[in-house]
Amino acid sequence: MSTVATYAAPPQKGWLTPIGRRRWQNFKANRRGYWSFWLFLLLFGLSLCAEFIANDKPIVASYKGEILFPVLVDYPEEKFGGFLAETDFRSDFIRDEIEANGWMVWPPIRYSYQTVNSNIPHSAPTAPFWLMSEEERCSAYPQGAADPGCMLGNLNWLGTDDQARDVMARMIYGFRISVLFGLVLTIASALIGVSAGAVQGYFGGWTDLLLQRFIEIWSSMPVLYILLIIAAILPPGFFILLGIMLLFSWVGFVGVVRAEFLRARNFEYVNAARALGVGNGTIMYRHLLPNAMVATLTFLPFILSGSITTLTSLDFLGFGMPPGSPSLGEMIAQGKSNLQAPWLGLTAFCAMSVMLSLLIFVGEATRDAFDPRKTFR
């Protein structure tokens, strides 16, 4: 038997298994979903760099021969002859001081999500700058239209909200926090839900019966009221909100995974693994989980958009993120109370609908990719 030499490594055909490659082909064949996927990744990638796109601090500055990175480092104002603990780079005094002794590179939008524009032409909310004449939009600056401060980066592209904060900046940050919240919630609830469903489906019997009854009771709780009650007791915040929603959202995965495990636990290759002496944990992970992953992954984009919607509606009701944090729901609420400023509602609406549509299109393509019977034309 020693004639059997050890063969070299398996022929490498990329990092995907043949099944994975076929799925990727199916995914690509859904053009809409495929482009949505890349567009969503691009938007999400951009929003992750929000600090470099919309910020009230310059990205790089040179002051008296020293290169500073105000985006990354907080410099006390003392350094530039002021007195605040944190430098307000937007103030005329600091700006003149730095420009006299060096230079600054600003992000395209010179507002962060909580920066208040003190140079609005009239009381907030103010309209996008392109809805106003040049004189009007610069009227609050000391030198009017000739003022160096009245330039593109300082104008409000999508107007301001009722606290004179830039809507564009708030939208970018709000998009980021929505997607991040959705992602973390989806992944965490998938982890819990898949494990619970796996245990139920694999062991069946009493385990299944008891957990199933528990889930029935658990999922019949009025989630919204519980959220309201808890929000009244605990200080609202990203992680507290995440935790509360996680308590209830994992249940959604249990059904599909449990069904998949129940079906597959008597497959012959599972029996064969059992006959080989493979342990329960390994069987579940290696032989059964891939079956359940198809259902789970198909589910994922829809759960993701669901979580985003939930967060937005909580923000809208005022039970979401703490006041001041950028959030699309809060923007919609502002739009509702400021009907004379349609740019608030419209911006939030467009951001939400683009984000959710992209996710749904990606979800459709994912469903196609994992459909074993899928044929094209």
Partner 1 sequence: MTDTLLSVRDLSVAFHQGGDTSVAVDHISFDIRRGETVALVGESGSGKSVSANSILKLLPYPAASHPSGAILFNGKDLLKASDAELRHVRGNDITMIFQEPMTSLNPLHTIEQQIGEILELHQDLKGPAARARTLELLNQVGIREAEKRLGAYPHQLSGGQRQRVMIAMALANRPELLIADEPTTALDVTVQAQILELLKSLKDQHGMSMLFITHDLGIVRKIADRVCVMTKGKIVETGPTAEIFANPQHAYTRHLLASEPKGEPPPSDASKPIVVEGKDVKVWFPIRAGFLRRVVDHVKAVDGIDLTLRAGQTLGVVGESGSGKTTLGLALTRLISSKGRIAFVGQDIDAYSFGEMRPLRNRMQVVFQDPYGSLSPRMSVADIIGEGLKIHERALSDDARDARVAAALQEVGLDPATRWRYPHEFSGGQRQRIAIARAMVLKPQFVMLDEPTSALDMSVQAQVVDLLRDLQRKHNLAYLFISHDLKVVRALANEVIVMRLGKVVEQGPAERIFSAPVEDYTKALMAAAFNLEAVNLSAIRQ
Q: Please give the residue ranges that form the binding site for partner 1 (CB under 8 A).
A: 1, 4, 6-7, 10-11, 17-19, 267-269, 271-279, 286-287, 290, 375-377
For residues 4 and 233, which CB has a smaller minimum distance to partner 1 in the complex?
A: 4
* Residue 75 C-beta-side C-alpha neighbours within 13 Å: 24
d(CA 167, CA 174): 10
Contact predicate 341/127, CB 8 Å: yes
For residues 291 and 357, which CB has a smaller minimum distance to partner 1 in the complex?
A: 291
- Give the SS3 label for residue 229: helix
CB of 191 to partner 1, least distance (A): 20
For residues 73 and 275, which CB has a smaller minimum distance to partner 1 in the complex?
A: 275
The letter for the amino acid at 106 is W
Location of structure tokens 């509606």: 313
Residue 213: how many other CB atoms lie within 10 Å: 10
For residues 98 and 283, which CB has a smaller minimum distance to partner 1 in the complex?
A: 283
Location of structure tokens 């500073």: 68
CB of 207 to partner 1, least distance (A): 16
For residues 1 and 100, which CB has a smaller minimum distance to partner 1 in the complex?
A: 1
* Residue 151 C-beta-side C-alpha neighbours within 13 Å: 10
CB of 367 to partner 1, least distance (A): 18
For residues 33 and 326, which CB has a smaller minimum distance to partner 1 in the complex?
A: 33
Furthest-apart CA atoms within the chain: distance in Å? 92
For residues 222 and 373, which CB has a smaller minimum distance to partner 1 in the complex?
A: 373
CB of 254 to partner 1, least distance (A): 23
For residues 67 and 276, which CB has a smaller minimum distance to partner 1 in the complex?
A: 276
- Give the SS3 label for residue 285: helix
Q: What tokens does 3 get?
A: 């004639």
CB of 209 to partner 1, least distance (A): 12
* Strands 102-105, 66-68: pairing kind: unpaired
- For helices 251-264 and 167-203, give the axis angle rounded to 10 degrees: 40
Contact predicate 221/248, CB 8 Å: yes
d(CA 12, CA 28): 22
CB of 47 to partner 1, least distance (A): 35
For residues 95 and 274, which CB has a smaller minimum distance to partner 1 in the complex?
A: 274
Strands (E), the chain: 60-63, 66-68, 102-105
Q: How far out from the chain centre does Cα 241 lie?
A: 14
- The partner residues of 109 in beta bridges, in order of sequence, read 54
CB of 1 to partner 1, least distance (A): 5
CB of 5 to partner 1, least distance (A): 8
CB of 258 to partner 1, least distance (A): 20
Number of H helices, E strands in the chain: 15, 3
CB of 4 to partner 1, least distance (A): 5
For residues 9 and 85, which CB has a smaller minimum distance to partner 1 in the complex?
A: 9
Q: What tokens does 1 get?
A: 């038997």
Q: What is the DSSP letter of 30?
A: S
